[in-house]
Amino acid sequence: MSQRPAMAAVALLLLCSAAAERASLELRHGDGQHSASLELDADPCPADPKAVRALQALGLRGSGSVCQWKGVNCRDCQVLGVKISSPKLKGSIEELKYFSGLKVLNLKGQVNGDVGALQNLTELTELSLEGSQVYGDVAHLRSLRQLRYVKLTDSRVYGNLQVFQGMEGLRELLLGLTRVRGHLQALAGCRNMTLLVLRRLQGVTGTMKSCENMTQLKILFLSGTQVEGELQAVGELRRLFLSETKVHGNLSALRATRGFSALETLDLAGTGVFGDLVALKNHFNLVRAYLSDTLVSGDFAVLHKGKQKNVCRLQELTLKGTNVFGDLKDLPGYAQLVRLDLQGTSVTGRLSSALKGCCQKLGQLVLSDSRVTLLPTPEELAVLRQGYSTDRSATLLPALVTLEVSRSPLLGPVEHLLLPLAGSPNVARLVASGCGLFGTLPNLQALDSVTVDDRMYARWVSFISKSLQLLDLSENQITRVEGVPAHTLVSLASNGALSIHPGLLAKALEERVEVKLQGTALLNQSEVLQMVGRGELNMTEDFRMTDINRGFTCHGLDSVLLQVSPELFLPQALCGCSPGWYGSGKDCRRCPAGTYNKHFNRSFCKPCPGEQKSPVGAASVRMCLCSIGEIYDQNAWNGTNTSKRDYACGCPDAQALHAGACVGCPELHLDCIGFGGLAVNAPATAGWARLAAGVQTFRCLAPEERCVPENDGCAAGYGGPLCVTCADGYRSTQRGLCKPCADFGRWTAPSATSASVVVGILAAAAVASFVVWRRRRATLDGSAASSAEAAPSARDAALALLVVEGPLLLQLCQLWVVVAALAGSRHLQETKEEEAADRSFAAAFPEQPYMKWLQLSAIGLQDALSLECTYGASARSAAAVAAPLIPLALLALCGAVELFARSSGISLALKALTLFFIGGASGCARLLSCQDTDGGGEPLGGHAFRTAFPHLKCSDPSWVDGLGWLCAIAYGGLIPICLLALMMKQHVALQSSRKVTAFVSEYDDKLLVRVHEFRAAVGTEKEPSRVEENLLAAAIAHATVLLRGKVRMQPEDGGMSLELLGVSKGEVLSASSQLKDMLEIKTSADAQRCSAITRMLMERSLLDGARESDRMLAGARNLLSKYVWCQDVWVEIVLRLAAVALVSVVSREDGLAFSVGICVGVGAMVGALQPYVQRQVNDLQCCCFLCLGVASLGFGFELIWLARAALLLPFLLLCSQIWHPDCPEEVALRLFKALQPKLPLQGQALEVAVEPLTL
């Protein structure tokens, strides 16, 4: 300590100096660094708020200047060091960045924060934050080039070792248990490194060669890293930890040299190191050597052989799993040894008197799986037994606490193991499992004739009996126990048959000693049975083990101290025969055939009742076999006498007897409850019904709640086959449900009459409105005929368009109701969830029943007036018959009108077809339709019934067939034939209009229209010439298609010129140019349209001429006038046949595909041909049928919004058309009607306005 006077001198000089306020001296001793400071506060430092705040962030508290705070070192009022160690230390380090001159930061506690906050503390030399919650990338420390000591063990930092590259002044680096990675080569330049700890860093790689330049290295801790390569000497190591690495090589690399003589700790466990132990012989300072699970070999005694006594300093030596050999007699050479692990080695030896007094510090000796026999020879045993002593120097292994010799070949009496150790006063744990021990476990608390310290004792309490806490002698062959020496746990499991001294087990349990006897049989069971009888031991309520092969089950003992195998320890008390077996304890046999036993631990089996048989080992009376069904207790099911059992054979629950066998009721959809039922008597399950006596059931139509197991299969308010009809006092709803009429109100005869009167008044009002419109139309036509200038208004044109398109929308609504029958057509066999979805889908269309009224059929009237509530089923039958007949009767009535009012009857008949045809056709289809499948799509076969008359089977002949087919012939044959006759009639009458061709040319800024008429051949009857009328029609057609504005029409040069008026001279030139261009680039569509309008006007003239001569054409004039060409009346036939086809196919399985095909086909036909006069009508008719196809998909795929949108779209289209109600065809018709009375013109010029009307 020669430096102390120097330090005092320096302090004295500083005290005398006025300029100095404090001084600090650093004293270095050995490898450590110590600092001392001597401070004089001539002028105390002022309080710095920022410094106070920084230290308060760490959880520190103080007053005045921080330099006065505990753990804070300052110089010139500048904080240079913060050293605090306290478990209560909490806070963040991030405020410490204020101390820019900080040199030492050493904090131990629960501090946290990002290590990056320290990156500007460039003066920092020592950083110690071990065990803290500090986190962040160590890359932030790159700027701290003055660092000498970095201790971040067990913190949350991460990063790469590369950051420390080039820090030549770094002496200690501790990063164990962090997330730092990198290669050891990054530290190769740290030549002054003395301590390097990288414990359990899986991301660290490299070889020991990277450390060869660290010549001052004292401690190297790389255990648990990925370091590899050969073992080699590094620096002046005192402690080397390489366990669980990939290091390999020969142990001789560590032979003691001048630099390695100081090695104290060597940990190579779990590496690939090999070699002889002799390589460590000269490491005199070696204290701990961990070489387990390596390839090291040699004599384990070589480490002390040749050394003077007590020179070997080894305290811990672990050689588990190595190739080491030797003998226990060499143990005395390890005087300082505390722990020796020779498990799995080839070491041999026995206990002998030579080991007395040796190894005064050896507390743990592990010899499991070795070759030691350990038991002393008989001679040595006698010596050891007579030589017990209280003197440690004369005691066998006096410091021994734990001895483990499991699975070593002891192969001798158990007392030869325990008696030599009886004098060892510290043995607390003795494990000798599976060692081949046998014989009697002696009572170590009462040894007979023992000499201790040369004094004879007749009975002696051994030292080991006082210290022993755990004794494990399991898996041996011990046959008797005279004493329980351990105070905590004794394991004698798997020791075969065992006899326990009387009273010993009760005493052990009373002293709270845990006794393990699993796999061990108890020979003397009487005492234990008495303990069970006295309640000292209790059985568990549940079973703890079952042997299915031997047929017994055992309870356990409800004790945490005594653990046994009940079938071996106390079988008669704890075990019994399982059901199906008989006997007692674990001596059980199976019940023979024809008997059964359902009880536990029964000594006999009962015979099966009657002649029934049972298999061997029957555990229940129900295992007694019946020829049909199974056995059951009739009294239990009937509830007559539950105390007495009356067993009989019958079909079990959920099954019933049918055709001499038990069949499953769920498969037959029968509701079978209880045993012994017959299938023919079982009711059908909910949603299913019978159509005839027997077991066959059919699925009810949706909704399935109409069918119930009670009330003859139908719910209240339902009746008929599959419960499809509503009972008296009920009426059907839009969901197909039957609801009480009281919920709707009943139509009485007076109320029905009143409703009829109201309907009549509304009908009369509609007829009157139609008549008024016709008269107004006639007035307009007359005024137009009187003056070419007079023209209807846009409002009149819009009203006319509504009159024409109204029937189309009515037809759409009627057919929308027809395709609504496709709802749910994709599901022939549905789950209950799908059925519920179908019912909710049907409920989502509350408008459907009201839309049915628009079919104007008797069925809709019956539904609207709830006539079935007044007249019951007769109302439904009458409506079914009247639905197809009423339209036919109206047609017949129109025929009678035709007899008295020429052409009026035909006109009325055609209007009636428009209104009532679809409803009548639907009624006809309903009259002929049969319900030939049930709700799941399965065929009904001979049980199929008529839809309109459910009480009639389809297979039975009936007047309904005759009536239905007559109506079908009328709707599908007679009516189309009549329309076909009308088409042929107009074809003959109007053929002259097809013999005229129009030509157009341009001259002098005008259009000149000429016509050529093909005359009849010579010898045929000549038709009267209509050249001027045809010329007028052609001129009007070209004017309406090609021109807009005021046009002058004048006969010229055998034709008629068209001149656009109201334009200036410049505009005339422009118009002339446009006219030429028009004639040159005029499309074929415009030419065809001009030709079509010309022919249309000529046909209208011919129809007017035939009004008096042909009543059919006169009556059908309005129908024919709908089309551009009258011959297109065939479209009317197609529409009627399409309606009949739709009505017929919607009820088929493939109805969806057919319906979509029909609707799309008709819509495409109308869109392509454009047969109607008004383009708006063509567009609306095309849209209606395309939307019907979309609605079919909406109904078929249960898309509510799609079906509704398809119904709404045509109405929206009509609303958009109202704003432009006119078209060239309508303009041409108006002009032709206005100018036709002025013929012949005789060269007179006409001025007309060619302009469509718009709102």
Question: Does 805 have pLDDT greater than 90?
Answer: no
pLDDT at 845: 55
- Among 487, 521, 555, residue at a domain's last position: 487
**Residue 1115 and residue 898: Cα distance in Å, rounded?**
9
* Within a domain: 740: no
**Residue 695 and residue 659: Cα distance in Å, rounded?**
10
Which of 861, 889, 896, 854 is closest to 875 using CA atoms? 861
- 786, burial (CB in 10 Å: exposed 0-12, middle 13-18, buried 19+): exposed
Rg of the Cα atoms in the chain = 58
* Within a domain: 677: yes
How many C-beta atoms surround the C-beta of residue 286 within 10 A?
Answer: 22
216 within 8 A of 244, measured Cβ to Cβ: no
Enter the tokens of residue 385: 């037994």
pLDDT at 830: 41
pLDDT at 176: 92
**Residue 1169 and residue 1217: Cα distance in Å, rounded?**
20
pLDDT at 751: 46
What is Dmax (Cα atoms) for the chain?
171
- Across 36-40, 546-550, 1147-1151, 1239-1243, least confident range: 36-40
Domain count, the chain: 4
Q: Backbone phi, then psi, for 473, in 5-degree steps? A: -120, 30
* Within a domain: 618: no
Beta-strand pair 272-276/295-299: parallel
pLDDT at 173: 93
**Residue 558 and residue 1188: Cα distance in Å, rounded?**
80
Question: Does 461 have pLDDT greater than 70?
Answer: yes
How many C-beta atoms surround the C-beta of residue 680 within 10 A?
Answer: 13
- Greater confidence (1252 vs 500) lies with 500
- Greater confidence (405 vs 906) lies with 405
Residue numbers of the domain that contains 1090: 990-1015+1024-1105+1237-1250
pLDDT grade for 736, boundaries at 50, 70 and 90: low
pLDDT at 307: 58
- Among 104, 121, 147, residue at a domain's last position: 147
* Within a domain: 870: no
- End-to-end CA gap in the chain: 121
Are 482 and 631 within one domain?
Answer: no
* Within a domain: 635: yes
Beta-strand pair 126-128/133-137: unpaired
Question: Does 873 have pLDDT greater than 70?
Answer: yes
**Residue 614 and residue 603: Cα distance in Å, rounded?**
18
How many C-beta atoms surround the C-beta of residue 1164 within 10 A?
Answer: 14
Residues 6+ positions from 1101 with CB-CB distance below 8 Å: 1026, 1029, 1033, 1232, 1236
Please report how many Cα atoms fall inside a 13 Å half-sphere around the Cα of residue 654, on the Cβ side: 2
pLDDT winner (highest mean) among 580-584, 865-869, 1235-1239: 580-584
**Residue 462 and residue 504: Cα distance in Å, rounded?**
18
pLDDT in tens, 15-57: 334 333 333 323 233 333 333 333 434 347 877 788 888 888 8
What rounded mean pLDDT belongs to the chain? 79
816 within 8 A of 809, measured Cβ to Cβ: no
- Across 263-272, 492-501, 1206-1215, least confident range: 1206-1215
- Across 19-28, 825-834, 1192-1201, least confident range: 19-28
pLDDT in tens, 1088-1140: 788 888 888 777 777 777 766 777 776 677 777 777 777 777 887 788 778 77
Place of tokens 């030589």: 387
- Among 437, 470, 487, residue at a domain's last position: 487
**Residue 1102 and residue 988: Cα distance in Å, rounded?**
11
- Greater confidence (282 vs 183) lies with 183
**Residue 653 and residue 560: Cα distance in Å, rounded?**
46
Question: Does 894 have pLDDT greater than 90?
Answer: no
pLDDT grade for 999, boundaries at 50, 70 and 90: confident
Residues 6+ positions from 49 with CB-CB distance below 8 Å: none
The DSSP code sequence of 263-281 is --EEE-TTSEEEEEGGGGT
pLDDT grade for 148, boundaries at 50, 70 and 90: very high
Which H or E run includes 781?
helix 749-786
pLDDT at 852: 64
Q: If you ran DSSP here, which 8-state letter would residue 742 be given?
A: G
How far apart, in Å, are the Cα atoms of 1004 and each of 318, 332, 448, 1060?
127, 144, 156, 12
How far apart, in Å, are the Cα atoms of 417 and each of 397, 429, 576, 579, 809?
14, 13, 40, 48, 111
Question: Does 182 have pLDDT greater than 90?
Answer: yes
The DSSP code sequence of 829-844 is S--HHHHHHHHHHHHT
292 within 8 A of 321, measured Cβ to Cβ: yes
* Within a domain: 804: no
Average pLDDT rounded to a whole number, residues 793-818:
80
Average pLDDT rounded to a whole number, residues 443-451:
89
pLDDT in tens, 250-265: 988 887 554 456 889 9
How many C-beta atoms surround the C-beta of residue 446 within 10 A?
Answer: 15
Question: Does 1081 have pLDDT greater than 50?
Answer: no
**Residue 272 and residue 248: Cα distance in Å, rounded?**
4
**Residue 581 and residue 605: Cα distance in Å, rounded?**
8
* Within a domain: 1084: yes
Cα 1047–Cα 1049–Cα 1054 angle in degrees, nearest 5: 150
Q: Backbone phi, then psi, for 459, in 5-degree steps? A: -145, 125
Residues 6+ positions from 299 with CB-CB distance below 8 Å: 277, 305, 324, 325, 326, 330
Please report, for the domain that includes residue 125, its CATH number: 3.80.10.10
pLDDT grade for 1170, boundaries at 50, 70 and 90: confident
How far apart, in Å, are the Cα atoms of 608 and each of 404, 615, 633?
60, 11, 13
pLDDT at 388: 87
* Within a domain: 322: no
Which of 314, 344, 322, 320 is closest to 330 using CA atoms? 314
